[in-house]
Structure 1
Amino acid sequence: MPDATEERPYHHGNLRAALLDAAERGLREHGADQLSLRDLAREVGVSHAAPRRHFSDRQGLLDALAEAGFGRLDTALRTAWAGADDDFPSRVRVIMTAYTRFATENAALLELMYTSKHRPGATRIAKAAEAPFGLMNDLIRQGQAQSALEDGDPERIGIVLFATLQGIASLINSGFVHADLLDGLVETAVEQFLRGARPHS
């Protein structure tokens, strides 16, 4: 009797998107090590060979998931920026909130994004990461242009801001701090960042 997986159809309306959605669910529930193209094919209802039309292997799937993650992060940050008031503190606040919410709501994906970005040869992922980090750099430059932040290397100031965001997200993702405290912690971090990085008179 033929294997049930062999009887599944090869074609799918939007197979790549369906596989990425299923992979992200699996990543969240079981971790990257447990993902396999064969299991994902079974989950979305196609033959085990069908995923290879889009991903040559498991690593290709993980890379695509990481690349898409940076795209989603960029969209989240730019949407927040577009909805903010024109003043610099408001933009800092919405960007910091948007980042930490993404980081805590997509903890496993974020970890995959950053570990994949630094793998040798992962040029597409590194390129995808340029957009959200470029936006954060633009935010710092805007603050300097408006005399809300001290002069100096914007990358250095941005690293301190990023470290603060990552620290808050890590504390919540590890369960050390309850998620209900997120907004309050971000608000405190915004106040401290703006006060500490402003020009000295």
Structure 2
Amino acid sequence: MDEPETIGLRERLIDAGVDLVTAEGAQALTLREIARRAGVSHGAPRRWFPTHAELLSAIARRGFADLQDRAAKAVGGAETGPRARLTALATVYLDFALSERGMYELMFRHDLLRSDRLGPRETGLPMFGTLVDLVGRVRPEADPRVLAGALWANLHGIAQLWGWGSLPLATGAGDHVPLLNAALDAHLGPEDRR
């Protein structure tokens, strides 16, 4: 088999996985189903991905790239202040988590991925670095890594509980924006929203 065809099949397997996780969630990502959707035998993925975790990592890499692109555009296009940029970043994160639920779940399930095969730029680390930087600018007296970690955990919790229907039920809220604003205020201090 020549090189372009090999690369084409590798990408076809990843594309099939991305489509599957988007449609049915991370639990549907079996080697057999990905191979079936790519139109190859169930053993064919092993040629390019020796383990299931390596194929899942390649699929997650696409999600990280998509989220990073969205975040870079939002932060770059936001007002110039660090609080506005942080709000834009948090909004993109929650919007991605709620609109791409299967991919989002896979991306942060490092117990399923070959995290050692994902380079730092192929994970959430660049976005977390941006979060740390912006938190440090808004709250220079705090440890920015710890505070950014707490904010990230809070955003992740909002995404999960909103997606499962728990937060709308418990709070009666019609959308997640008031919860996002409350999380930002809790971690960064209140913002004047006149």
Q: Same fold (TM over 0.5)?
A: yes
RMSD: 2.9
Who is 1:20 aligned against? 14
Residue 57 (str. 1) matches residue 45 (str. 2) = no
Q: Is the 8 A contact 1:67 1:124 kept in 2?
A: no
Q: How far did 1:133 drift? A: 1.4
Three-state SS of the structure 2 residue aligned to 1:21 is helix
Whether 1:162 aligns to 2:156 is no
Residue 124 (1) aligns with residue 114 (2): no
Per mean C-alpha deviation after superposition, the further-off stretch among 81-90 and 105-114 is 105-114
3-state SS of paired residue (2:167): coil
Q: One-letter code of the match for 2:76?
A: A
1:165/1:156 Cα in 2 relative to 1: closer, same or farther (>3 Å)? same
* TM-score normalised by L of structure 1: 0.74
TM-score, length-scaled by structure 2: 0.76
Q: How does 1:166-177 map to 2 (within 5 A)?
A: 166-177=156-167
Consecutive unaligned residues in structure 1, runs of 5 or more: 1-10
Q: Which runs of 4+ in 1 moved over 6 A?
A: none
Gaps of 5+ in 2: none
2:99 paired residue among 75, 99, 105: 105
Rg (Cα) greater in structure: 1
Change in 2 beyond 3 A, CA 1:182/1:21: farther
Task: Report the number of matched residues.
Answer: 181
| Conservation of the 8 A alpha-carbon contact between 1:41 and 1:48 | yes
Code of the aligned partner of 2:184: V
Find the counterpart in structure 2 of residue 86 from structure 1: 80
Q: Cα deviation per residue 1:44-86 (whole Å; 9 max; x = unaligned)?
A: 3345554344322322211212233222222221111111111
1:114 to partner: Cα distance = 1.9
- Structure 1 CA distance for aligned equivalents of residues 188 and 95 of structure 2: 20
Q: Counterpart amino acid of 2:75?
A: W
Report what 2:141 is aligned to: 151
Q: Which amino acid aligns with 1:134?
A: G
Q: Which amino acid aligns with 1:158?
A: A
State the alpha-carbon separation in 1 of the partners of residues 24 and 71 from structure 2.
27
Q: Please give the alpha-carbon distance, in whole angstroms, between the structure 2 residues aligned to 1:29 and 1:121.
A: 23
Q: Secondary structure at the match of 1:103?
A: helix
Shift of 1:31: 4.2
2:24 and 2:102 in contact (8 A); partners too: no
Residues 120 and 84 (structure 1), Cα distance of their counterparts in 2 relative to 1, 3 Å cut: closer
